Structure 1
Amino acid sequence: MDDPSSLTQGDPWFQDGNIILVSRDESGSSELPERPPVGFRVHRGVLSRHSEVLRDMFELPQPDTMYDNDNDASRYEGCQVITMYDIPIELSNLVKALYDGVTFHNRSVDDFFYLAGILRLSTKYVISHLRTQAIKHLTQTWSYDLKGHDNMLDLAIRTPQLSYSSDPNTPSKLSYPYIHPIHVLNLARSTNVRIVVPSALYFLSLYPLTDLLRADHPKLQVAHPSKPSSSLQPSDLVNYTLICTNGTGRTCTRNFQRLGMRLASSWVVRTGPFNFIGQTMSQVSQNTEGFCAACRGDFATDVGAFRQKFWDDLPAVCGLPAWDVMREEELS
């Protein structure tokens, strides 16, 4: 039997609660120190109302491994004890979201890790409304339409870099949206969220493969218990290669040629070809001296159509259904 004194009271801990969830993180992460079990004293009816999975867990007999000074080893201070194999901070955030609701932000990398924990556990315990809210917030950055993609890039260009480091002696500068596409991609894969995969893979294709294999980007070095894997999975390495081959290379050679080296040399690589195409179209449309009206019109039509088609084809390159199919299945 475990020592009751080793149980840390977590947040929330309601004195009138009738069930205690004891979180035991067995993720085996070597980046963070091992911590004692954390307990959350909550109300069985509140959690059962939101999740049939949790309700069924509460009805199962628990193993004789927990705390108490009476004869029932599955109780503590008169409350039923349930062992949860989840990261304590993620379980805490999930429970508080069930009581108080949830609000997502994108002010720092910590906001992403908060969302990752909510999405991971709402998927695990089939809490549909929290899962849908998390997916919708993800798509505000990792968009399923071209307008959202353009808005995100515009915000990324205008947003100053943010200092972040677990070690104050080695500050890191993180650019918006503060998280690496690999983390978004691996979170999406682990929670079966397909609608953000093409966008994450597209932004991933802007990174050289050697950089991804080294995994030394500052955004990959941030330590947090909710951080998804920083490794590129073999199947996504294939998708990464397909996008690099079928997308960005042809875009630069076929559609930017009319503007020549002057415009090509001004390309900010991290914003990607979608943004560069949009900027190029804008410059061509305004250059009344260098291009006749017919050429400007043809360029806007052809390049705009290619830009839209490239975006529409991203899910297929990643082996996924069309954007509207995923939107209907995952956001309706």
Structure 2
Amino acid sequence: MDEAQDASIAANFTRVQDLWFADHGLVLQAEDRLFRVSGGILSARSSVFRDMLAIPQSKSRAQIDGCPVVVLDDSGMDAEYFLRAIFDASFFERPPASTTLPTVAGVLKLSTKYGVEFLRRRALLHLSTALAGSLDEWDETRSTATFHAPGCQFLCLLLVDSLALTWAIPAAMYAASCSPVLEILDGVPCEETHVRLPPVLQRACLVARAALAVNQHHDIYRFLRASAVDGCRAPDVCPRRRLAMLDIYSGITQVNPLILLTSSLWADTAGLLCEACCSRAEAEHREARQAIWDSLPVLFDLPSWEQLHAARTADL
């Protein structure tokens, strides 16, 4: 390829300055982005790049500043996150260091594709902080998750589904299925883009949403339907108040049966019901939540929790 063509390539693409090392001899192109990096470091980190760069280069291959250009069929943003994780040790640290969902997604996809095992495991560790493997972990995700992406539940689901990370699918599917119907059908804005699920996942979410709505009304609110509670100190008052609370809760259109009732809400309940009824309510609510969590693999047509936990342990 002649110098004029090389110059044209360089002019029509953006050099990512933080990943353009003048003393390195390999240029990677991903979409409209160019990266000048060390082929030796890439080869040391990735068996795929090692094999790729071992192939003799054609003299007609495009060059920029005398460096051969390797074209990647990856998104420019994913490539940037991946290369930053390789060449900047502080960019993508292990949990509990904070990160972003697009960073996790980019690093995970390309580390899987190019066989960079230490980065793949690190990305999976970050993912596991948000996609719980137990109900106790689910209750703690707001404080333990290393990334927070409001409205990005579909991006999470697409990521774990595309990589067949079965152990992460229950939590990801649950979060997506609790979305409003129109969001499931039309998609949602996330990280400056619009994410829409494919029809097969839309259908799965809608079917699950209907089942979760039934769980919420019949199982989660079951403690409010009890006509009598052993040891109730106000049998003329508590049943009436439970039904009044049921009437209020039944008007909630949001579907999220696993939502953890806060201590302040239980304090309010304690002010309405006697001690025995309040204790029974908390116990039944806790049991109902656990039963729903235990049923998620069946709801989403997945292997048992035991098998999912084994897969999670193997990945992490």
Question: Normalising by structure 1, what TM-score?
Answer: 0.71
Among 24, 48, 51, the alignment partner of 2:43 is 48
User: Residue 252 in 1 paired to residue 224 in 2?
Assistant: no
* Partner in structure 2 of residue 187 of structure 1: 159
CA distance in 2, matches of 1:17, 1:79: 9
Structural mapping, 1:124-143, within 5 Å: 124-143=113-132
Secondary structure of 1:144's counterpart equals coil
Q: CA deviation at 1:237?
A: 3.0
CA distance in 2, matches of 1:17, 1:6: 19
Q: CA deviation at 1:98?
A: 0.9
User: Residue 112 in 1 paired to residue 107 in 2?
Assistant: no
| 1:240-294 Cα distance to aligned partner (Å, 9 max, x none) | 2342233331332234141334366368765822125x4499728962872453x
Q: Residues 181 and 204 of structure 1 are in contact (CA less than 8 Å); yes or no, is this contact kept in structure 2? A: yes
* Partner in structure 2 of residue 206 of structure 1: 178
Higher relative contact order (CA 8 A, sep 6+): 1
| 1:78-98 Cα distance to aligned partner (Å, 9 max, x none) | 433322122223222212211
CA distance in 1, matches of 2:247, 2:144: 22
Among 234, 251, 259, the alignment partner of 1:275 is 259
Q: 1:245–1:286: structure 2 CA closer, same or farther, 3 Å change rule?
A: closer
Percent identical residues: 25
* Partner in structure 2 of residue 88 of structure 1: 76
Q: Residues 104 and 111 of structure 1 are in contact (CA less than 8 Å); yes or no, is this contact kept in structure 2? A: no
Q: How many residue pairs align between the two structures?
A: 283
Among 253, 264, 273, the alignment partner of 1:290 is 273
Among 90, 93, 107, the alignment partner of 1:103 is 93
User: Residue 236 in 1 paired to residue 201 in 2?
Assistant: yes
Q: 1:250–1:39: structure 2 CA closer, same or farther, 3 Å change rule?
A: closer
**Amino acid of the structure 2 residue aligned with 1:186:** L
Among 131, 144, 161, the alignment partner of 2:133 is 144
* Partner in structure 2 of residue 161 of structure 1: none
* Partner in structure 2 of residue 223 of structure 1: 192
Question: Normalising by structure 2, what TM-score?
Answer: 0.74
* Partner in structure 2 of residue 6 of structure 1: 9
User: Residue 16 in 1 paired to residue 23 in 2?
Assistant: yes
User: Residue 265 in 1 paired to residue 248 in 2?
Assistant: yes
* Partner in structure 2 of residue 327 of structure 1: 312
CA distance in 2, matches of 1:194, 1:179: 22
Q: Which runs of 5+ in 1 are unaligned?
A: 26-36, 65-70, 157-175
Give the superposed CA RMSD.
3.5
* Partner in structure 2 of residue 163 of structure 1: none
Q: Which runs of 5+ in 2 are unaligned?
A: 225-241
Q: Residues 205 and 243 of structure 1 are in contact (CA less than 8 Å); yes or no, is this contact kept in structure 2? A: yes
Q: CA deviation at 1:17?
A: 0.9
